[in-house]
A and B are shown apart, each in its own frame.
Chain A
């Protein structure tokens, strides 16, 4: 059976890279006694695939991976077993069964929500409302929002307007930006790139100290709605 697992990655765990997180969860599956399927051969590996790699330095409330299992306890049992053996900062929050013909999480990823938090003492010290105005002027009301994207072959101009679905500012014990952006293998937009482009239009030197938090990853339904990846499966009773 196919199972989708959702987890949070917070605190110092943000410094553990994507490949190391994959290795971490392979071990966690064994510790928690999940009846995961293995490939054949002398060095069997678990049937496991992650939705969208998260960069080093980013935290998240919405990370996903899919596994194949021979059998499974209830969702709540599995979540409890996994959380008993997690390192601090990693927490499993979802465990659902997918239909046998479900596509992999990776191929379904269409968008993701991010929060970007400005460091304390960031200058200029605009209020949330002032930031909102600037976003409206330079992004929402603009015809296009073009950035120069560096690629292996050189630079290319890219209009982010159709790829950034939401962009607003708010107050969260500091200034936060909320973004819903296109994610996945075809058009993957890094949220920092969007913010940098806004800073550039305002003449602000971008700072690396902006902290980035992923909140959720979505698939897109046939009718164009964004659906959290977890909602594509069924809770196991």
Chain B
């Protein structure tokens, strides 16, 4: 009768607790390909955190890359941690159970590093939840030698200031480049028992490492930033983004961790390139991941085979900002179709431009009658599309849709943004008008007897949030009621369209947009607001069922800071921004030039058509040097 006990690994949570919470498999670790190491043989314990629920966090490619990168080092054990869902959060608070890493189930507070990936602003209160449950002080300045070093990275690190007080250091750019140097330095100084402050000072000298406590901000009377200066002579004034110049030979998770639970992205992810040649003016990813760099197709084929063998996944998805711009796409897709067909593996091809090639490929890999086509015109009128530099023309959209309808598709999804700079009511009204035209095209293109029912067009609008390191970083935002009014115009005008019965409309909430705007372009003073909001009970703000704007309004009031200052004020050309001390490659001169081009409705060609001198060429790789060797 003893067969069931056996010698099983340690669990941080008792069976009784695990039986009380929703989806206990979130907290047990033990997934296939998760890494376990002998504590006796390692020097550095690194906990990598995605501050959202397990199923979201496990879908993130960046952490899988870093997990592989760190665990390749014999001296380092990297483990994972995600935000406990509110049900477990309550139990852990009540019973004072410290937050733990999944692999060892050991408390985070005994680790050397706690790395937190910063993927969206609305997870900032979840960072505090992690620190709170881990029993680590919120503010870096309150931590001692016994606490882990808390390090942040990811897209939101391109304006780390609103959360600067919670972090000991930030890593700016791609982890592949500088983490080995950082860990080597740490290991050396730990052996020499140099202490936390000395390590942070040395780390601040490494390229790409930002130690917020070693820099001071001062402000003008109007609240804008006056100066941002290093507190020591031997650390850089500007922190340079780290770029991996050779993605083809770079580390990649050949054996990604396979979750038991169905993750949001529950498939093999094959990153085919990084960066984007397009230069859409609203898009932060398109700017901060410059220069565009492709991975060689032969390496991608090898990776696909290895990952299929090591995971057994039933689906593989290509990942990039714009798959159609990948120069070896056709060869890759043909290979994958051949490889996957008999193994029963589905292929998913997101971010494809709709044209004859992509329609042909899609008809081979998915059921035309069930799947839908996605267009992201982002703006309804050609004028506004020129402002945002979205190359897609109305003709492209209608031509693509016509071909798709002829090919048997009848579901179309359209994505737009409301609140873009210079937007007028005519631009907003153009959104349902475009949808109507597409519907009309369906009824004109497909004869009645061949129709698979009505066509189904879905319009989705989100509200535009200006982001650092984009040409729109100077743009002003609106108030929540302005945004709702804009959605109202779309909805009202939609009803006046002939084909409105074939069109559905979804829009986002406005309050969360306003908050995202503040956190995206905010300064150091916001750390107190975020802490106050967390203390007021705000967390899981990215989840509409938990988001409570009132808790945030109270926090702003308590800290004496104004949302309008951050969102609605006009930013002048010469203003010093809180993120200007970072060198993201794209220069402020280029961004300003692009801001003026936007206001003049002038389109800028993409990187392959003509170099616009954005500054990313200094990284010495990628599209900037194509055909120039």
Selected contact of A88 from candidates B30, B310, B314, CB within 8 Å:
B30
| Residue ID in chain B nearest A209 by CB atoms | B16
Q: Is the CB of A12 within 8 A of B30?
A: yes
* A140 CA to B270 CA, complexed, in Å: 62
Q: Is the CB of A30 within 8 A of B346?
A: no
Q: Is the CB of B16 within 8 A of A208?
A: yes
Classify the interface of chain A: helix, strand, loop or mixed: mixed
A46 within 8 A of B: yes
Q: Is the CB of A31 within 8 A of B309?
A: yes
Size category, B interface: 35 or more
Q: Is the CB of B1 within 8 A of A16?
A: no
Q: Is the CB of B4 within 8 A of A16?
A: no
Q: Is the CB of B367 within 8 A of A59?
A: no
* A10 CA to B344 CA, complexed, in Å: 30
Q: Is the CB of B1 within 8 A of A170?
A: yes
Q: Is the CB of B11 within 8 A of A12?
A: yes
Which residues of the partner chain A approach B447 to less than 8 Å between Cβ atoms? none
* A46 CA to B16 CA, complexed, in Å: 35
* A204 CA to B255 CA, complexed, in Å: 50
B19 to chain A, nearest CB (A): 5
Which residues of the partner chain A approach B310 to less than 8 Å between Cβ atoms? 31
A141 within 8 A of B: no
Which residues of the partner chain A approach B309 to less than 8 Å between Cβ atoms? 31
* A28 CA to B24 CA, complexed, in Å: 22
* A57 CA to B16 CA, complexed, in Å: 9
B453 within 8 A of A: no
Of the listed stretches B151-159, B258-266, B317-325, B580-588, name the one at the interface; the rest are far from the partner chain. Answer: B258-266
Which residues of the partner chain B approach A59 to less than 8 Å between Cβ atoms? 4
A62 to chain B, nearest CB (A): 11
Q: Is the CB of A89 within 8 A of B4?
A: no
| Residue ID in chain B nearest A56 by CB atoms | B24
| Residue ID in chain A nearest B346 by CB atoms | A43
Q: Is the CB of A29 within 8 A of B4?
A: no
- From residue 64 to 83 of chain A, which have CB atoms closer than 8 A to chain B? none
Q: Is the CB of A57 within 8 A of B1?
A: no
* A42 CA to B315 CA, complexed, in Å: 12
Q: Is the CB of B367 within 8 A of A43?
A: yes
Q: Is the CB of A26 within 8 A of B4?
A: no
- Given A15-B24, A44-B344, A208 contacting B312 (CB threshold 8 A): no
A-B CB contact pairs (8 Å), 22 listed: A10-B4, A10-B6, A15-B18, A20-B260, A27-B32, A27-B314, A30-B313, A30-B343, A31-B311, A38-B344, A41-B367, A42-B346, A43-B346, A45-B344, A56-B24, A57-B18, A57-B19, A85-B32, A87-B30, A88-B9, A89-B8, A173-B2
6 further interface pairs, Cβ-Cβ under 8 Å (given A12-B30, A41-B367, A61-B3):
A10-B8, A27-B258, A27-B311, A43-B367, A85-B32, A209-B15
Residues of B participating in the A interface, judged by any CB pair closer than 8 Å: 1-4, 6, 8-9, 11, 15-16, 18-19, 24-25, 28-32, 258, 260-262, 308-314, 343-346, 365-367, 370
7 A-B pairs with the lowest CB-CB distances in the bound complex, closest first: A27-B312, A172-B1, A11-B8, A30-B312, A42-B367, A31-B312, A15-B24
